[in-house]
Amino acid sequence: MTLSVGILIFQGFEVLDVFGPVELLATYPEHFEITMVAEQRGAIRSAQGPSCIAEEAIGDGRPYDMILVPGGQGTRTQVGNPAVMRWLQTQAVQAQWVTSVCTGSALLAKAGLLDGRKATSNKMSFKWVASQGPEVNWDYGARWVEDGNILTSSGVSAGMDMTLGLIANLHGEKAAEDAALWAEYSWHRDAATDPFAGAWENLHPA
Amino acid sequence: MTLSVGILIFQGFEVLDVFGPVELLATYPEHFEITMVAEQRGAIRSAQGPSCIAEEAIGDGRPYDMILVPGGQGTRTQVGNPAVMRWLQTQAVQAQWVTSVCTGSALLAKAGLLDGRKATSNKMSFKWVASQGPEVNWDYGARWVEDGNILTSSGVSAGMDMTLGLIANLHGEKAAEDAALWAEYSWHRDAATDPFAGAWENLHPA
């Protein structure tokens, strides 16, 4: 079975949050059909500068089997975007998997999708993200968190580790290892432990 | 000083070859000004499906301080594209840095830019890449290779390691470490040793 994957992009999305997971999912086109979706179709400028194309609009109302929400400085604006909040809430009702990378978890939290759930986000912006979801059981130290059908990851590259974890869930460890090998990526397999949590704590002691 | 960085994209480019380095270079907008360039301006479809925008065309003739050439299945076509070959040769005359990721080194090799130089490429397609440059000193085991002002890397994620190596050269180890920390990426610092070289050898013994 092929899962339709809707990847939300918006002005100021983080490129690696999107294209790390895309690289790995696309190893298996028979399993994952990837579509970039945004509030408006067309070119969407990333936080890093380059623009990518949204082929579908959230207003189209297409339901996806899986959604992926990246982070990036644009999340600061999107938490206040009612159209995006409604789209997330509508998708979450029927999607098999709801996933986010980095500060993308702030959007899931603000939409209320993480209430009563365990979740994580990137370390640098953790306080701001956590403030978007006071009813969430935030796990600061995790590389990624799976709670039911919702997966949230720590910062940027952690999205690749989470994606490999999802591939392993769905298609076995060997499929995840092969995807990592194809991308010559060293998979952090331990979801519970983010090697960067300590680094940020040292830089920015509480 | 800000380096202008021209990133070549073409139909069938590999997304992580491009956006891994972009993510890291964009940590320092004061040092790197990134432009996506292609044979034609506009939307260019990646090997993984999503399309990105080329803001400039190679026919514009703009010289870049640094060029980056990604891999992807599209390189099979581009080695036979005279316009791209001429662009690479022209850029190489004046660019301070010429860099490639994965099978992007096949394009540099075919353009003659690697003759007499040491270079590497990704492990899975190594034989095909090496056949594009019989006068190149190919280093199968390297994660990335620096020979003068030309840097070539192994497959996909190795482009991030090479980019961090370049940032370290230009702005010091601390700047590279900070970029890796920002992206929560575990840098393979050892350019001479690709941890995946052995994996491919075991899968596809010579």
Interface test with B, best of A46, A184, A202 (most B CBs within 10 A): A184
Going by pLDDT thresholds of 50, 70 and 90, the confidence category of residue B206 is: very low
Interface contact B140, partner A, CB < 8 A: no
Q: What are B122's two structure tokens? A: 């990704």
From CA A7, how far away is CA A18, in angstroms rounded? 8
Q: What is the pLDDT of residues B174-205, one digit of tens each?
A: 999 999 999 999 999 999 998 888 776 666 55
Interface contact B122, partner A, CB < 8 A: yes
Exposure string of B58-89, with b = 16+ CB inside 10 Å and e = fewer, is: beeeeebbbbbbbbbebbeebbebeebbebbe
CATH, residue B65:
3.40.50.880
Rounded CA Rg of chain A:
16
3-state SS of B101-166 is CCCHHHHHHHCCCCCCCEECCCCCCHHHHHHCCCCCEECCCCCEEEECCEEEECCCCHHHHHHHHH
Which of A160, A141, A109, A125 is closest to A47 using CA atoms?
A125
- The identity of residue A2, as a single letter, is T
Q: What is the pLDDT of residues A59-83, one digit of tens each?
A: 998 999 999 999 999 999 999 999 9
Number of domains in chain A: 1
CB pairs under 8 A between A and B: 122
Structural domain includes residue A99:
yes
Interface contact B99, partner A, CB < 8 A: no
From CA A206, how far away is CA B142, in angstroms rounded? 41
State the average pLDDT for chain B.
94
Flag whether pLDDT at A139 surpasses 60.
yes
Interface test with A, best of B16, B105, B184 (most A CBs within 10 A): B184
Q: How many CA atoms lie within 13 A of A83 on its CB side?
A: 12
Phi, psi of B157 (to 5 degrees): -60, -25
B118: domain range? 3-203
For chain B, the distance separating the N- and C-terminal CA atoms, rounded to the nearest angstrom, is 46
Please report the sign of the dihedral spanned by the C-alpha atoms of residue A114, residue A116, residue A121, residue A127: positive
Residues of A (10-29) whose Cβ lies below 8 Å from B: 14-16, 18-20, 22-23, 26, 29
Structural domain includes residue A205:
no
DSSP conformational letter for A64? -
CB contact under 8 A, B34 and A50: yes
Q: What is the pLDDT of residues A171-202, one digit of tens each?
A: 999 999 999 999 999 999 999 998 888 776 66
From CA A75, how far away is CA A89, in angstroms rounded? 16
Structural domain includes residue A66:
yes
pLDDT at residue A198, rounded to an integer:
75
Predicted interface score ipTM higher than 0.85: yes
Which of B195, B137, B152, B119 is closest to B17 using CA atoms?
B152
Which of A86, A92, A64, A89 is closest to A150 using CA atoms?
A92
A188 vs B contacts (CB less than 8 Å): 186
Q: How confident is the model over B135-146, as a mean pLDDT?
A: 94
Our CA-based measurement puts residue A118 at a distance from the nearest CA of chain B, in whole angstroms, of 21
Structural domain includes residue A204:
no
Phi, psi of A48 (to 5 degrees): -90, -10
Going by pLDDT thresholds of 50, 70 and 90, the confidence category of residue A206 is: very low
Phi, psi of B153 (to 5 degrees): -125, 165
Q: What is the pLDDT of residues B41-55, one digit of tens each?
A: 999 999 999 999 999
Length of chain B: 206
Q: How many CA atoms lie within 13 A of B20 on its CB side?
A: 36
Q: What is the pLDDT of residues B61-104, one digit of tens each?
A: 899 999 999 999 999 999 999 999 999 999 999 999 999 999 99
